[in-house]
Amino acid sequence: MEGWDGMADGSAAAIGMAAPLSGEKSPATSMRRLARRKSTIAFVMCLPLILLIVGFVIYPAFYALWLSMLNKKMTTFVGLGNFAFLLKRHTFQLVIFQSCLFAVTAVVLKAFIGIILAHLMHNIPGTNQKIWRGLLLVPWVIPLALSTLTWWWMFDPSYSAFNWILNQFGFENVPWLGVGGIARACTIAVNVWFGTPFFMIMYLAALKSVPEQLYEAAAIDGAGAMQKLFFVTLPMMRNIIAITVLFSLIVTFAEFDIVRILTAGGPQDMTHVFATYAFQVGIQSGDIPLGAGVSLFMFPILAVSAFFVLRGVTQRTKDIAA
Protein backbone atom coordinates (compact mmCIF):
# COMPACT_ATOMS: atom_id res chain seq x y z
CA MET A 1 0.00 0.00 0.00
CA GLU A 2 2.81 2.32 0.87
CA GLY A 3 4.42 1.62 -2.53
CA TRP A 4 1.15 2.21 -4.27
CA ASP A 5 0.62 5.45 -2.38
CA GLY A 6 4.13 6.53 -3.35
CA MET A 7 3.47 5.82 -7.00
CA ALA A 8 0.22 7.72 -6.83
CA ASP A 9 1.87 10.71 -5.23
CA GLY A 10 4.68 10.66 -7.80
CA SER A 11 2.25 10.41 -10.73
CA ALA A 12 0.22 13.29 -9.37
CA ALA A 13 3.36 15.36 -9.00
CA ALA A 14 4.42 14.51 -12.56
CA ILE A 15 1.01 15.44 -13.92
CA GLY A 16 1.09 18.68 -11.97
CA MET A 17 4.48 19.55 -13.43
CA ALA A 18 3.34 18.79 -16.99
CA ALA A 19 0.11 20.78 -16.77
CA PRO A 20 0.40 24.52 -17.53
CA LEU A 21 0.08 26.96 -14.69
CA SER A 22 -3.28 28.57 -14.12
CA GLY A 23 -3.79 31.62 -16.37
CA GLU A 24 -0.76 30.79 -18.56
CA LYS A 25 -1.36 30.38 -22.34
CA SER A 26 0.45 27.66 -24.23
CA PRO A 27 2.38 28.64 -27.42
CA ALA A 28 0.01 26.53 -29.54
CA THR A 29 -3.02 28.39 -28.21
CA SER A 30 -1.41 31.76 -28.86
CA MET A 31 -0.52 30.76 -32.42
CA ARG A 32 -4.09 29.59 -33.09
CA ARG A 33 -5.50 32.86 -31.82
CA LEU A 34 -2.99 34.84 -33.90
CA ALA A 35 -3.91 32.84 -37.02
CA ARG A 36 -7.61 33.56 -36.47
CA ARG A 37 -7.16 37.33 -36.44
CA LYS A 38 -8.39 39.13 -39.55
CA SER A 39 -5.29 41.34 -39.57
CA THR A 40 -3.03 38.27 -39.69
CA ILE A 41 -5.02 36.69 -42.51
CA ALA A 42 -4.96 39.98 -44.44
CA PHE A 43 -1.19 40.28 -43.99
CA VAL A 44 -0.60 36.72 -45.21
CA MET A 45 -2.83 37.30 -48.23
CA CYS A 46 -0.98 40.53 -49.08
CA LEU A 47 2.48 39.08 -48.45
CA PRO A 48 3.14 38.13 -52.13
CA LEU A 49 2.26 41.67 -53.23
CA ILE A 50 4.42 43.15 -50.47
CA LEU A 51 7.36 41.02 -51.60
CA LEU A 52 6.84 42.14 -55.20
CA ILE A 53 6.76 45.80 -54.16
CA VAL A 54 9.91 45.38 -52.08
CA GLY A 55 11.70 43.54 -54.88
CA PHE A 56 10.65 45.67 -57.83
CA VAL A 57 10.02 49.12 -56.32
CA ILE A 58 11.63 49.77 -52.95
CA TYR A 59 14.94 47.96 -53.55
CA PRO A 60 15.49 49.51 -57.03
CA ALA A 61 14.64 52.95 -55.64
CA PHE A 62 17.26 52.74 -52.88
CA TYR A 63 19.76 51.19 -55.29
CA ALA A 64 19.19 54.06 -57.74
CA LEU A 65 19.77 56.51 -54.89
CA TRP A 66 23.06 54.77 -54.09
CA LEU A 67 24.11 54.76 -57.76
CA SER A 68 23.39 58.49 -58.09
CA MET A 69 26.06 59.17 -55.44
CA LEU A 70 28.86 57.37 -57.29
CA ASN A 71 31.23 58.55 -60.00
CA LYS A 72 30.93 57.44 -63.64
CA LYS A 73 33.07 54.33 -63.07
CA MET A 74 30.99 53.51 -59.96
CA THR A 75 34.12 53.19 -57.85
CA THR A 76 34.09 56.40 -55.78
CA PHE A 77 31.42 57.95 -53.57
CA VAL A 78 30.78 61.55 -54.65
CA GLY A 79 27.71 62.38 -52.57
CA LEU A 80 25.53 65.04 -54.18
CA GLY A 81 28.15 65.85 -56.81
CA ASN A 82 26.10 64.42 -59.69
CA PHE A 83 23.08 66.51 -58.75
CA ALA A 84 25.16 69.68 -58.51
CA PHE A 85 26.72 68.90 -61.90
CA LEU A 86 23.28 68.38 -63.51
CA LEU A 87 21.84 71.63 -62.15
CA LYS A 88 24.69 73.58 -63.74
CA ARG A 89 24.00 72.17 -67.22
CA HIS A 90 21.78 74.25 -69.47
CA THR A 91 20.41 71.11 -71.13
CA PHE A 92 19.18 69.69 -67.84
CA GLN A 93 17.61 73.00 -66.87
CA LEU A 94 15.74 72.81 -70.16
CA VAL A 95 14.71 69.22 -69.34
CA ILE A 96 13.22 70.34 -66.01
CA PHE A 97 11.22 73.09 -67.74
CA GLN A 98 10.06 70.77 -70.53
CA SER A 99 9.06 67.98 -68.14
CA CYS A 100 6.95 70.34 -66.04
CA LEU A 101 5.42 71.96 -69.13
CA PHE A 102 4.68 68.57 -70.70
CA ALA A 103 3.14 67.05 -67.56
CA VAL A 104 1.11 70.02 -66.34
CA THR A 105 -0.25 70.99 -69.77
CA ALA A 106 -1.15 67.40 -70.66
CA VAL A 107 -2.86 66.70 -67.32
CA VAL A 108 -4.89 69.93 -67.42
CA LEU A 109 -6.05 69.22 -70.97
CA LYS A 110 -6.88 65.59 -70.16
CA ALA A 111 -8.89 66.64 -67.11
CA PHE A 112 -10.75 69.37 -69.02
CA ILE A 113 -11.58 67.22 -72.06
CA GLY A 114 -12.30 64.21 -69.85
CA ILE A 115 -14.94 65.99 -67.78
CA ILE A 116 -16.62 67.30 -70.95
CA LEU A 117 -16.75 63.82 -72.46
CA ALA A 118 -17.97 62.35 -69.18
CA HIS A 119 -20.90 64.80 -69.12
CA LEU A 120 -21.75 63.99 -72.73
CA MET A 121 -21.63 60.26 -72.00
CA HIS A 122 -23.72 60.72 -68.85
CA ASN A 123 -26.52 62.30 -70.86
CA ILE A 124 -26.61 59.63 -73.57
CA PRO A 125 -29.31 57.06 -72.77
CA GLY A 126 -29.10 53.25 -72.65
CA THR A 127 -27.25 51.15 -75.19
CA ASN A 128 -25.94 54.13 -77.16
CA GLN A 129 -23.88 55.17 -74.13
CA LYS A 130 -22.19 51.76 -74.00
CA ILE A 131 -21.30 51.96 -77.69
CA TRP A 132 -19.83 55.45 -77.49
CA ARG A 133 -18.06 54.64 -74.25
CA GLY A 134 -16.40 51.62 -75.87
CA LEU A 135 -15.32 53.64 -78.89
CA LEU A 136 -13.83 56.43 -76.78
CA LEU A 137 -11.85 53.90 -74.73
CA VAL A 138 -10.03 52.60 -77.82
CA PRO A 139 -7.05 55.05 -77.57
CA TRP A 140 -6.44 53.93 -73.99
CA VAL A 141 -6.72 50.22 -74.85
CA ILE A 142 -4.32 50.21 -77.82
CA PRO A 143 -0.67 49.62 -76.77
CA LEU A 144 0.97 53.04 -76.47
CA ALA A 145 4.07 52.16 -78.51
CA LEU A 146 1.92 50.95 -81.41
CA SER A 147 -0.37 53.98 -81.45
CA THR A 148 2.60 56.34 -81.13
CA LEU A 149 4.18 54.78 -84.23
CA THR A 150 0.98 55.62 -86.10
CA TRP A 151 1.18 59.22 -84.90
CA TRP A 152 4.84 59.33 -85.94
CA TRP A 153 3.84 58.34 -89.47
CA MET A 154 1.19 61.07 -89.54
CA PHE A 155 3.80 63.63 -88.42
CA ASP A 156 6.53 62.33 -90.77
CA PRO A 157 7.96 65.18 -92.92
CA SER A 158 7.93 63.11 -96.13
CA TYR A 159 4.75 61.05 -95.80
CA SER A 160 2.72 63.09 -93.32
CA ALA A 161 -1.03 62.57 -93.57
CA PHE A 162 -1.55 65.98 -91.97
CA ASN A 163 0.67 67.69 -94.54
CA TRP A 164 -1.20 65.91 -97.34
CA ILE A 165 -4.48 67.35 -96.03
CA LEU A 166 -2.91 70.81 -95.77
CA ASN A 167 -1.61 70.53 -99.36
CA GLN A 168 -5.13 69.79 -100.60
CA PHE A 169 -6.21 73.19 -99.26
CA GLY A 170 -3.17 74.97 -100.71
CA PHE A 171 -1.07 75.22 -97.53
CA GLU A 172 2.63 74.41 -97.29
CA ASN A 173 4.10 71.49 -95.36
CA VAL A 174 4.57 71.92 -91.63
CA PRO A 175 7.73 70.48 -89.98
CA TRP A 176 5.74 68.83 -87.20
CA LEU A 177 8.70 67.21 -85.45
CA GLY A 178 11.45 69.48 -86.79
CA VAL A 179 10.74 72.68 -84.83
CA GLY A 180 11.01 72.74 -81.05
CA GLY A 181 7.71 74.44 -80.21
CA ILE A 182 5.67 72.41 -82.69
CA ALA A 183 7.34 69.17 -81.61
CA ARG A 184 6.48 69.89 -77.97
CA ALA A 185 2.85 70.50 -78.95
CA CYS A 186 2.80 67.23 -80.89
CA THR A 187 4.09 65.16 -77.95
CA ILE A 188 1.55 66.79 -75.62
CA ALA A 189 -1.27 66.19 -78.13
CA VAL A 190 -0.45 62.47 -78.38
CA ASN A 191 -0.32 62.13 -74.60
CA VAL A 192 -3.70 63.88 -74.29
CA TRP A 193 -5.17 61.62 -76.98
CA PHE A 194 -3.96 58.54 -75.10
CA GLY A 195 -4.83 59.59 -71.54
CA THR A 196 -8.17 61.38 -71.92
CA PRO A 197 -10.27 58.15 -71.94
CA PHE A 198 -8.96 57.31 -68.46
CA PHE A 199 -10.19 60.66 -67.14
CA MET A 200 -13.48 60.23 -68.95
CA ILE A 201 -14.27 56.81 -67.45
CA MET A 202 -13.26 57.92 -63.93
CA TYR A 203 -15.35 61.09 -64.09
CA LEU A 204 -18.27 59.19 -65.61
CA ALA A 205 -18.26 56.81 -62.65
CA ALA A 206 -18.13 59.79 -60.27
CA LEU A 207 -21.04 61.48 -62.06
CA LYS A 208 -23.19 58.37 -61.71
CA SER A 209 -22.57 58.39 -57.96
CA VAL A 210 -23.91 61.95 -57.46
CA PRO A 211 -27.44 61.69 -55.91
CA GLU A 212 -30.20 62.93 -58.20
CA GLN A 213 -31.90 64.53 -55.18
CA LEU A 214 -29.17 67.18 -55.11
CA TYR A 215 -29.95 68.21 -58.70
CA GLU A 216 -33.67 68.25 -57.95
CA ALA A 217 -33.13 70.46 -54.90
CA ALA A 218 -30.91 72.79 -56.94
CA ALA A 219 -33.56 73.00 -59.67
CA ILE A 220 -36.23 73.89 -57.10
CA ASP A 221 -33.96 76.70 -55.87
CA GLY A 222 -33.77 78.00 -59.44
CA ALA A 223 -30.23 76.85 -60.29
CA GLY A 224 -29.29 76.65 -63.96
CA ALA A 225 -27.01 74.15 -65.71
CA MET A 226 -23.80 76.03 -64.94
CA GLN A 227 -24.78 76.58 -61.31
CA LYS A 228 -25.51 72.86 -60.93
CA LEU A 229 -22.09 72.12 -62.42
CA PHE A 230 -20.12 74.47 -60.14
CA PHE A 231 -22.14 74.09 -56.94
CA VAL A 232 -23.30 70.46 -57.09
CA THR A 233 -21.34 68.34 -59.56
CA LEU A 234 -17.77 69.61 -59.08
CA PRO A 235 -17.91 69.74 -55.25
CA MET A 236 -19.18 66.14 -55.19
CA MET A 237 -16.39 65.09 -57.58
CA ARG A 238 -13.51 66.96 -55.95
CA ASN A 239 -11.90 63.91 -54.36
CA ILE A 240 -12.01 61.76 -57.49
CA ILE A 241 -10.75 64.70 -59.58
CA ALA A 242 -7.83 65.21 -57.19
CA ILE A 243 -6.88 61.52 -57.09
CA THR A 244 -7.15 61.17 -60.88
CA VAL A 245 -5.04 64.26 -61.49
CA LEU A 246 -2.39 63.06 -59.04
CA PHE A 247 -2.22 59.59 -60.60
CA SER A 248 -2.02 61.03 -64.11
CA LEU A 249 0.62 63.55 -63.05
CA ILE A 250 2.85 60.75 -61.73
CA VAL A 251 2.42 58.68 -64.91
CA THR A 252 2.89 61.68 -67.23
CA PHE A 253 6.07 62.83 -65.47
CA ALA A 254 7.48 59.36 -66.05
CA GLU A 255 6.44 59.33 -69.73
CA PHE A 256 8.97 57.69 -72.02
CA ASP A 257 7.37 55.98 -75.03
CA ILE A 258 5.76 59.00 -76.70
CA VAL A 259 8.77 61.30 -76.60
CA ARG A 260 11.25 58.54 -77.40
CA ILE A 261 9.34 57.31 -80.47
CA LEU A 262 8.26 60.70 -81.84
CA THR A 263 11.34 62.86 -81.35
CA ALA A 264 13.96 60.97 -79.26
CA GLY A 265 14.35 64.26 -77.39
CA GLY A 266 15.03 66.36 -80.48
CA PRO A 267 15.26 68.70 -82.18
CA GLN A 268 18.30 69.98 -80.24
CA ASP A 269 17.13 68.43 -76.94
CA MET A 270 14.01 70.61 -76.97
CA THR A 271 11.52 67.84 -76.21
CA HIS A 272 13.47 65.79 -73.67
CA VAL A 273 11.68 64.85 -70.46
CA PHE A 274 13.21 63.23 -67.38
CA ALA A 275 12.77 59.64 -68.57
CA THR A 276 14.18 60.11 -72.07
CA TYR A 277 17.08 62.25 -70.87
CA ALA A 278 17.91 59.69 -68.15
CA PHE A 279 17.94 56.99 -70.85
CA GLN A 280 20.22 59.06 -73.08
CA VAL A 281 22.66 59.94 -70.30
CA GLY A 282 22.58 56.67 -68.39
CA ILE A 283 22.25 54.01 -71.12
CA GLN A 284 23.37 55.55 -74.40
CA SER A 285 26.21 57.60 -72.93
CA GLY A 286 27.18 54.95 -70.37
CA ASP A 287 27.02 57.22 -67.30
CA ILE A 288 24.62 55.17 -65.16
CA PRO A 289 25.09 57.20 -61.92
CA LEU A 290 24.32 60.45 -63.74
CA GLY A 291 21.29 58.84 -65.39
CA ALA A 292 20.06 57.68 -61.98
CA GLY A 293 20.47 61.24 -60.73
CA VAL A 294 18.31 62.53 -63.60
CA SER A 295 15.53 60.06 -62.86
CA LEU A 296 15.55 60.90 -59.13
CA PHE A 297 14.83 64.57 -59.82
CA MET A 298 11.20 63.55 -60.38
CA PHE A 299 10.81 62.34 -56.80
CA PRO A 300 10.72 65.66 -54.87
CA ILE A 301 8.35 67.21 -57.42
CA LEU A 302 5.92 64.30 -57.22
CA ALA A 303 6.30 63.95 -53.45
CA VAL A 304 5.29 67.58 -52.86
CA SER A 305 2.36 67.26 -55.28
CA ALA A 306 1.18 64.04 -53.63
CA PHE A 307 1.43 65.58 -50.15
CA PHE A 308 -0.80 68.54 -50.91
CA VAL A 309 -3.32 66.57 -53.00
CA LEU A 310 -3.71 63.76 -50.46
CA ARG A 311 -3.91 66.21 -47.59
CA GLY A 312 -6.77 67.99 -49.34
CA VAL A 313 -8.55 64.68 -50.02
CA THR A 314 -8.18 63.62 -46.37
CA GLN A 315 -9.49 66.95 -45.11
CA ARG A 316 -12.54 66.87 -47.39
CA THR A 317 -13.27 63.27 -46.36
CA LYS A 318 -13.22 64.31 -42.69
CA ASP A 319 -15.51 67.27 -43.42
CA ILE A 320 -18.01 65.00 -45.20
CA ALA A 321 -17.91 62.48 -42.35
CA ALA A 322 -18.47 65.25 -39.80
3-state SS record for the chain: CHHHHHHHHHHHHHHHHHCCCCCCCCHHHHHHHHHHCHHHHHHHHHHHHHHHHHHHHHHHHHHHHHHCCECCCCCCECCCHHHHHHHHCHHHHHHHHHHHHHHHHHHHHHHHHHHHHHHHHHCCCHHHHHHHHHHHCHHHHCCHHHHHHHHHHHHCCCCCHHHHHHHHCCCCCCCCCCCHHHHHHHHHHHHHHHHHHHHHHHHHHHHHCCCHHHHHHHHHCCCCHHHHHHHHHHHHHHHHHHHHHHHHHHHHHCCCHHHHHHCCCCCCCCCCCHHHHHHHHHHHCCCHHHHHHHHHCHHHHHHHHHHHHHHHHHHHHHHHHC
Average pLDDT of the chain to the nearest whole number: 85
In this predicted structure, the answer to whether residue 22 has a pLDDT above a threshold of 60 is no
In this predicted structure, the answer to whether residue 276 has a pLDDT above a threshold of 60 is yes
> How far is it, in rounded angstroms, from Cα 216 to Cα 211?
9
Question: pLDDT digits over 97-138, tens only?
Answer: 999 999 999 999 999 999 999 998 888 877 788 888 888 888
Q: Once rounded to an integer, what is the mean pLDDT over residues 205-219?
A: 88
pTM here is 0.81
The confidence band for 94, taking pLDDT boundaries of 50, 70 and 90, is: very high
Percent of the chain with pLDDT over 90: 45
Q: Give, in order, the Cα–Cα distances in Å from 50 to each of 34, 37, 46, 64, 119.
A: 20, 19, 6, 20, 38
In this predicted structure, the answer to whether residue 5 has a pLDDT above a threshold of 60 is no
In this predicted structure, the answer to whether residue 270 has a pLDDT above a threshold of 60 is yes
Give the residues across from 70 on adjacent strands: 77
Task: Check residue 186 and give its pLDDT.
Answer: 95
Q: Once rounded to an integer, what is the mean pLDDT over residues 168-196?
A: 93
Q: Once rounded to an integer, what is the mean pLDDT over residues 247-263?
A: 92
> How far is it, in rounded angstroms, from Cα 227 to Cα 250?
32
Q: Once rounded to an integer, what is the mean pLDDT over residues 254-260?
A: 93
Greater confidence, 100 or 313? 100
> How far is it, in rounded angstroms, from Cα 55 to Cα 212?
46
Greater confidence, 26 or 266? 266
In this predicted structure, the answer to whether residue 197 has a pLDDT above a threshold of 90 is yes
Task: Check residue 11 and give its pLDDT.
Answer: 47
**The residue type at 251:** V
**What angle do helix axes 180-208 and 126-136 make, rounded to 10 degrees?**
150
In this predicted structure, the answer to whether residue 13 has a pLDDT above a threshold of 60 is no
> How far is it, in rounded angstroms, from Cα 24 to Cα 149?
70
Task: Check residue 24 and give its pLDDT.
Answer: 54
In this predicted structure, the answer to whether residue 50 has a pLDDT above a threshold of 70 is yes
Question: pLDDT digits over 104-114, tens only?
Answer: 999 999 999 99
Backbone φ and ψ of 70, nearest 5°? -110, 165
Q: Once rounded to an integer, what is the mean pLDDT over residues 219-244?
A: 88
